[in-house]
A and B are shown apart, each in its own frame.
Chain A
Amino acid sequence: MFEHEVVITSVGLITAGARSAKELFERIKNSDSCVSVVSELEELGFDNPVAAAIDAETWKWLEAMDPAQNSDWDSPSTHLAVTAADQAMESLGLAGQPVRAGVFAASNRAPMDVGDLAELVGSLDAANECVDLDRLGRWVETKRGRQGKNRRDQSALVLADRYGFHDAVMTSEDACAAGSIAIGTAYRYIRHGELDVAIAGGTELMCEFLPFLGFNSLGMINGDSDRDPAGRCRPFDGSRHGFVLGEGSAFLVLESAEHARARGAKPLARIAGFAKQSEAGSVLASTEDGSEFARCIQAALRDAGMSPEDIDHINAHGTSTLANDAAESRAISQVFGERTAEIPVTANKSALGHALGASGAIEAILSVMSLVEGTLLPTLNYEAADPSLPSLNVVTKARPAPLKTVMSNSFGMGGENCTLILEAA
């Protein structure tokens, strides 16, 4: 089967604390955390109201830009996705060109916010112990697009319509690996010649009441009130316990190298390998010995035609949970052997929190920028190794490094795993 080289030619993102990829890269490079107390969650009474949430000022900025052209789709998540994707698209001016093009957008959840819940109460018919659908219907009439907010595929459809990318339109909802899987799937389509161009990435807005309730009920969110908010997400650190939620949207423009050359576009990086797999284990925790993560990493290496010696840097999934970081450390050790203590590892979630379906795309962009800038980003809050785990070379301060390849891991809840291998252009 004929295969095309796939390159990344532009990127765009919005996260807590950053309105562009460059801004986010610089912020993490300076060890500046995006995690803080979220006043709305605090007011609701949560005793761990800490997250990397997009702040009110950024929402005002987004609203002022008003990029959504179709009001039916104008929900916060699509607004965010359109703005991030526009950054990627505008820089190269792809719109309007006749190409075979697709959209691959990840999103797991866009739940109702607390205001929706409060209004829903008005739809209850207490006397008859049922929901009054007529009242609910009238509520919907006043909230056009509100149910669209709950649709995972909304961003993909809006972007496909906006850019005229109609040849493949997909929504990945593969938990924490969804963003990476969206990129990897687009890579496959272009590699095999089915598309010339794709925009791929993910959007997630989870720093809200219901996700906080849900993840707290699972005991997964860090509740260490003795630490400053910025110090709570501590991937691979011996005192880690629990993740911090994040949110954002990130998109990358992928195209065949021939197509990029024909347009005179300069690639930022190329995608060398991709693997996605299922663990078929527990839905609550990854395989403890790391063997399933290792299997995924090895599959991506095979896809890239590379050996572990070819990898210069690992952008880890690194959630800061006890089990996930332990399994990832063991997986790195199994794959990289003696190089485990040498190969630099960073975990962006230490600064950004865990943006779930968007995290893989955000981290892929940061990995691309590390390749372009020749800079290793720090893992914030890493102070002491976990003595029970293989010793990793966790980067704690930004430093220059000549990088040719970066491996980006995304290991999702329920055992949906993905590894991308990115190479300098």
Chain B
Amino acid sequence: MRAEGRAARLGRAFRARPVRVEAAGIYAADGTALEDLLAGRRAAPSPLPFASGWLPRAEAFAAAEPDLRSSVYDRKALRTMDKQARLALAAAITCGAGLEPFADPARVGLFMGMPTVEEPVPSWEALAELGPDPADRAAMLQTFLTSTPPMTGLILLNSTACSHVASQFGVTGPTGVFSPWADAGLQALVEAAWSIVEGDNNRALVGGAAPTLNPFLYLHYEAQGLLGQGEALPPPGEGAAFVALRGGEPEAGAAVLSGYARLFEPDPAQAAAARARCIEAALESAAVTAAEVGWVLFDPHCGRAGVAAELSALQAVFGGLPPLGAWHEAVGHLGPAQPVLNVAAAAEALGGAGRVVCDGAGRCLGRETAPLRHVLINASGFEGQFACLVMSRYEHA
């Protein structure tokens, strides 16, 4: 693992050119807002409509369709979005409501972490029409042609989701879309911050969405072994989160990005040690000691072995488990939106909202109002991707 070079550079850059969180917005099950999460409230999971004995935990946090008709820049655009893209746009609109207008849209970037778009074609209805014998391929084509929405080609591209947010806000700076797991959300955030540090942008919108709940999502989980014996899949949730980043001198007390590190370690036997080195690199990047970190928003969604590796790494670095936080028992795990939600929550917590502490299984232990100076946010992928971000309460030198 040789991520320290970049981590050290980023930490220095963040101290020289601070990047702060200026606004946030989320869209989650039961209309849960950020303040609900920080107050310890939780949404109610619902049974999966396609549940079967195959699934060990047949419930999830489904989000209602957002009503975007009156707020979207072009109602026709809704036809080129799947649900996760619509949720992302809803979260972006909530985030944007608290923002000053963009004086220079060409220097406002947009970076998103998005899950794989699952097949909107063929619809299950179209498949059902085919019956048990799809041997007649001409009939198959005809069925699909008549049941395929005209904008399907665009729905399939994640960049379309990004384009809609760009159009909603009229932002035309550098963009980037990353995929598919939680680490992609943190990657989007750091690329956005880096674009501000480099001077390409002076502000940036960063968002992520959770994958839409459908059978294909569970095929991904199965392929990752998360539905196997002895696994404990945290309930997935539908939702999205956005934050707005801004360069320039922050006010004292603002939440700023202060350190980052990431790695890819595909060998499971090395996972705990590699994660520990990554966390240490992120803390070093931020010039922060483990003792100064008051809250760790960890990632409970990378399989039993992945979670065990992360908790082991935290114990090694912190000399025991630090105060943990996670939201999967409140709104479900939100995939690439999860770290963006964590950044939004950390910004509030650093601003004085307090922290909601949970145990290593994600069970809520209660809300605490201790002042925080630094928060660590971790995000994982299933194949050895791991990223850590340190956020800090800004104090004038």
User: B130 an interface residue at 8 Å Cβ cutoff?
Assistant: yes
Cross-chain contact B154 with A218 (CB below 8 angstroms): yes
A147-B223, A175-B159, A194-B9 are known contacts. Are A414 and B54 too (CB-CB below 8 A)?
no
A201-219 CB contacts (< 8 Å) to partner B: 209-211, 213-218
Q: Interface with B: A31-39, A120-128, A264-272, A401-409, which one?
A: A120-128
Q: Interface with A: B59-67, B140-148, B303-311, B369-377, which one?
A: B140-148
A171-B179, A278-B110 are known contacts. Are A416 and B2 too (CB-CB below 8 A)?
no
Q: Complex formed: what's the CA distance from A276 to B227 in Å?
A: 40
Cross-chain contact B140 with A117 (CB below 8 angstroms): yes
B188-241 CB contacts (< 8 Å) to partner A: 198, 215-216, 218-220, 222-223, 227
Cross-chain contact B166 with A108 (CB below 8 angstroms): no
List B contacts of A26 (CB < 8 A).
none
**A165 vs chain B, min Cβ distance (A):** 8
Cross-chain contact B179 with A152 (CB below 8 angstroms): yes
List B contacts of A118 (CB < 8 A).
134, 140
User: A137 an interface residue at 8 Å Cβ cutoff?
Assistant: yes
Cross-chain contact B54 with A136 (CB below 8 angstroms): yes
List A contacts of B141 (CB < 8 A).
44-46, 209, 213
**B243 vs chain A, min Cβ distance (A):** 18
Q: Interface with B: A230-238, A280-288, A304-312, A379-387, which one?
A: A280-288
User: A181 an interface residue at 8 Å Cβ cutoff?
Assistant: yes
Cross-chain contact B137 with A172 (CB below 8 angstroms): no
User: B39 an interface residue at 8 Å Cβ cutoff?
Assistant: no
Residue-by-residue, is B251-271 near A (CB-CB < 8 Å gives 1, otherwise 0)? Answer: 000000000001111100000
List A contacts of B130 (CB < 8 A).
121
A44-B138, A217-B153, A278-B172 are known contacts. Are A153 and B179 too (CB-CB below 8 A)?
yes
Interface size of A by CB at 8 A reads 83
Q: List 9 A-B contacts (CB under 8 A).
A: A45-B142, A147-B216, A167-B5, A172-B177, A173-B159, A193-B5, A210-B119, A277-B175, A278-B175
7 further contact pairs, Cβ within 8 A, besides A148-B223, A160-B266: A147-B216, A171-B178, A209-B144, A213-B121, A213-B148, A413-B160, A416-B163
A120-B127, A171-B178 are known contacts. Are A43 and B137 too (CB-CB below 8 A)?
yes
Cross-chain contact A167 with B132 (CB below 8 angstroms): no
List B contacts of A122 (CB < 8 A).
132
**B326 vs chain A, min Cβ distance (A):** 23
List B contacts of A114 (CB < 8 A).
137, 140
List A contacts of B142 (CB < 8 A).
45
Q: Complex formed: what's the CA distance from A169 to B180 in Å?
A: 12
List A contacts of B352 (CB < 8 A).
none
A282-306 CB contacts (< 8 Å) to partner B: 282-284, 292, 295
User: A352 an interface residue at 8 Å Cβ cutoff?
Assistant: no
Q: Complex formed: what's the CA distance from A68 to B173 in Å?
A: 38
List A contacts of B162 (CB < 8 A).
174, 278, 414, 416
Partner of B187, one of A147, A170, A276: A170
Residue-by-residue, is B91-109 near A (CB-CB < 8 Å gives 1, otherwise 0)? Answer: 0000000000000011000
A110-157 CB contacts (< 8 Å) to partner B: 111-112, 114, 117-118, 120-122, 124, 126, 129-134, 136-137, 140, 144-148, 150-153, 157
Partner of A117, one of B105, B127, B385: B127
Q: Complex formed: what's the CA distance from A151 to B162 in Å?
A: 19
Cross-chain contact B152 with A280 (CB below 8 angstroms): no
User: B342 an interface residue at 8 Å Cβ cutoff?
Assistant: no
User: A1 an interface residue at 8 Å Cβ cutoff?
Assistant: yes
User: B285 an interface residue at 8 Å Cβ cutoff?
Assistant: no
Q: Complex formed: what's the CA distance from A9 to B344 in Å?
A: 42
User: A5 an interface residue at 8 Å Cβ cutoff?
Assistant: no
Cross-chain contact A109 with B156 (CB below 8 angstroms): yes
**A222 vs chain B, min Cβ distance (A):** 15
A45-B141, A147-B223 are known contacts. Are A169 and B159 too (CB-CB below 8 A)?
no
User: B6 an interface residue at 8 Å Cβ cutoff?
Assistant: yes
Q: Complex formed: what's the CA distance from A425 to B290 in Å?
A: 47
Q: Complex formed: what's the CA distance from A46 to B264 in Å?
A: 43
Q: Complex formed: what's the CA distance from A195 to B9 in Å?
A: 12
Cross-chain contact B223 with A215 (CB below 8 angstroms): no
Cross-chain contact A134 with B160 (CB below 8 angstroms): no
Cross-chain contact A1 with B164 (CB below 8 angstroms): no
List A contacts of B223 (CB < 8 A).
140, 144-148
Partner of B116, one of A152, A160, A169: A152
List A contacts of B169 (CB < 8 A).
280
Q: Select from chain B the residue with minimum beta-carbon distance to A1.
A: B198
Cross-chain contact B219 with A140 (CB below 8 angstroms): yes
Partner of A133, one of B3, B124, B156, B215: B215
Partner of A44, one of B110, B137, B166, B187: B137
List A contacts of B173 (CB < 8 A).
277-278
Q: Select from chain B the residue with minimum beta-carbon distance to A415.
A: B163
A2-49 CB contacts (< 8 Å) to partner B: 43-46
List A contacts of B44 (CB < 8 A).
none
User: B170 an interface residue at 8 Å Cβ cutoff?
Assistant: yes
User: A168 an interface residue at 8 Å Cβ cutoff?
Assistant: yes
Cross-chain contact A174 with B134 (CB below 8 angstroms): no
Partner of B124, one of A45, A131, A167: A131
Interface centre among A114, A118, A152, A283 (most CB of B within 10 A): A283
Q: Complex formed: what's the CA distance from A126 to B129 in Å?
A: 9
List A contacts of B51 (CB < 8 A).
133
Cross-chain contact B176 with A157 (CB below 8 angstroms): no
Cross-chain contact B174 with A276 (CB below 8 angstroms): yes
**A172 vs chain B, min Cβ distance (A):** 7
Cross-chain contact A416 with B159 (CB below 8 angstroms): yes
User: B80 an interface residue at 8 Å Cβ cutoff?
Assistant: yes
Q: Complex formed: what's the CA distance from A178 to B55 in Å?
A: 36
List B contacts of A172 (CB < 8 A).
176-178
Cross-chain contact B131 with A100 (CB below 8 angstroms): no
User: A259 an interface residue at 8 Å Cβ cutoff?
Assistant: no
User: B157 an interface residue at 8 Å Cβ cutoff?
Assistant: yes
List B contacts of A373 (CB < 8 A).
none
